[in-house]
Structure 1
Amino acid sequence: MAQCALDDHEEVHLRILQTIYQKLTCSGLSCPRYGAHWEELGFQGVDPGTDLRGTGMLALMQMLYLVTDSGTLLLAQEIFKLSQHETQNFPFCIMSVNITRVVLQALREERLSRVCNRRQQVLAVLNELYAAAFLRLYRVWKWQHKTITDCDFLLKELEFATKKKPEKLLRSLEAYMNHSPDADGHQQPSPPSTAAEIPFTGVCELQVELEGESRLI
């Protein structure tokens, strides 16, 4: 999947991009394949594909997971909101791609073998670890008032935590999903029961289609 590039001829790839855009911006509108709207989301330019070198469709699938899973949608929107902050802003999608790169490297170095073997899963573990790493980054960035100048240091810290203590990160995400205090001592608010959801019924279809065209990690 990481070796599968974004392909303009694959409709499912555009649908993934559009779903990410709709979920983060709370918009029901479709958006073009190219344009400044991707820069607003945190890509470096008008073509998201140029930022996916080394992570390929895995990076987009992990973003899709973050914004379509009911347990992490609120987290994704809160992180995106922080990324738009006047002084604490950062490019959301570029940060996401970097976190995908971190967890993928941990997998390739066999740092996740124990947890993957225990759960008999790979992609699910990788996705949850990605979300857990993003959660950690969000908390540190927000509560310690970090700015873009701190980015390199924080990513290195995340890389260390991902390789050395993946189980701890995963427990932190589990605590967040259960809306209970985690190891960092932060209580996450429960999502409002009346929160409006933008319907998207093609996630499973997208995953099946991608499995058919993508290579194993």
Structure 2
Amino acid sequence: MAMAESSGGGGGGGSFVAVRRISQSINRTNTCQSTTSAKAVAGSAAWLGKGLSCVCAQQTDSDARPSFDLTPAQEECLLRLQSRIDLPYDSSNPKHQEALRSLWYAAFPGEVLFGLISEQWKEMGWQGKDPSTDFRGGGFISLENLLYFAGNFPKSFQHLLRKQEGDRALWEYPFAVAGVNITFMLIQMLDLEAVKPRTLVGATFLKYLAENESAFDLLYCITFKLMDHQWLAMHASYMDFNTVMKATRRQIEKELLSEEISKLEDLPSYSLLTQ
């Protein structure tokens, strides 16, 4: 896997880390042929923060928003989800370390990981050699979301990781950091840190959560796949990520509020996961 660094042009003077993607036909083992494609996955130190502030912090007057009453079942499920959201990634926690290793082997079966701090992590689209520094925006739940995606929709997970679908830009969004952005965006969109939801979309989501405790993880997978679909439809490149995320958020909100939806599997965007 070839690595290259170049000075980042424009805004902030940070460095961009380019990771040349292994072509989709390759068998990722120690004996595989190392043919590469010319397309790249890009990341920058400022990218995550920019994405979060632009996409998620859209409402400031929280006091003006109404609240929605919850059923006991919804309240219990929300509290359990909030306990997951409140848990930071702890690089000294053996369970967290093992989860991170599991993500590596889910992404790259048969490829030995040389350490939890390693240049290898850039292959997945982390900003540096220590993924734990990128979990600040999403906490441990953002790692759980990626693991759920890899375990339940492995084909879609691999397609997004390796950028296998569609006519793509030379500079692509970094897969793993995009995943953390999506976790954070959904938490904000659904107002999940409030005692009671203060938006209709948040209240609607809690109905699905009460019926399926994995609803947040499932919605994460749907949203990630939709984001990539929007990316391709908009012929987006690296600097268009915020625009794509905003379009994705609007579409997910629209689908969640549709009267024709009775479960998350009914969302039109769910079909993208099963293609």
TM-score, normalised on structure 2?
0.57
8 Å contact 1:66–1:76 — kept in the other structure? yes
Q: Distance in 2 between matches of 1:62 and 1:144?
A: 25
Aligned residues: 177
Alignment partner, residue 39 of structure 1: 122
For the pair 1:172 / 2:268, whether they are aligned, the reply is: yes
CA deviation after TM superposition for structure 1 residue 86, in Å: 6.7
Alignment partner, residue 215 of structure 2: 125
- Deviations, residues 173-199 of structure 1 (Å, cap 9, x unaligned): 54345x4xxxxxxxx2xxxxxxxxxxx
CA deviation after TM superposition for structure 1 residue 143, in Å: 4.3
Q: Distance in 1 between matches of 2:227 and 2:108?
A: 21
Q: Distance in 2 between matches of 1:25 and 1:147?
A: 25
Q: Distance in 1 between matches of 2:214 and 2:257?
A: 14
8 Å contact 2:137–2:180 — kept in the other structure? no
- Deviations, residues 127-153 of structure 1 (Å, cap 9, x unaligned): 111111111112122344321121010
C-alpha spacing 1:33/1:144, structure 2 compared with 1 (3 Å): same
AA aligned to 2:271 is A
AA aligned to 1:80 is L
C-alpha spacing 1:52/1:172, structure 2 compared with 1 (3 Å): same
C-alpha spacing 1:83/1:35, structure 2 compared with 1 (3 Å): farther
Alignment partner, residue 190 of structure 2: 107
AA aligned to 1:175 is S
C-alpha spacing 1:22/1:61, structure 2 compared with 1 (3 Å): same
Q: Distance in 2 between matches of 1:39 and 1:101?
A: 21
Alignment partner, residue 211 of structure 1: none
CA deviation after TM superposition for structure 1 residue 102, in Å: 1.1
C-alpha spacing 1:59/1:118, structure 2 compared with 1 (3 Å): closer
Could you tell me which of 139, 158, 164 is aligned with 1:77? 158
Q: Which runs of 4+ in 1 moved over 4 A?
A: 83-86
For the pair 1:54 / 2:137, whether they are aligned, the reply is: yes
Q: Which has the larger radius of gyration?
A: 2
8 Å contact 2:204–2:257 — kept in the other structure? no
Question: RCO higher in 1 or 2 (8 Å CA, sep ≥ 6)?
Answer: 1
Q: Distance in 2 between matches of 1:143 and 1:163?
A: 19
CA deviation after TM superposition for structure 1 residue 34, in Å: 0.6
TM-score, normalised on structure 1?
0.71
8 Å contact 2:230–2:247 — kept in the other structure? no
- Where structure 2 has 5 or more consecutive residues not aligned to the other structure, the ranges are 1-83
C-alpha spacing 1:40/1:112, structure 2 compared with 1 (3 Å): same
8 Å contact 2:122–2:129 — kept in the other structure? yes
C-alpha spacing 1:150/1:140, structure 2 compared with 1 (3 Å): same
Q: Distance in 1 between matches of 2:220 and 2:172?
A: 20
Q: Distance in 1 between matches of 2:188 and 2:158?
A: 26
- Where structure 1 has 5 or more consecutive residues not aligned to the other structure, the ranges are 180-187, 189-217
AA aligned to 1:63 is L
Q: Give the match's secondary structure for 1:155.
A: helix
8 Å contact 2:126–2:134 — kept in the other structure? yes
Alignment partner, residue 149 of structure 1: 239
- Deviating more after overlay: 134-143 vs 25-34: 25-34
Alignment partner, residue 230 of structure 2: 140
Alignment partner, residue 162 of structure 1: 252
CA deviation after TM superposition for structure 1 residue 106, in Å: 2.0
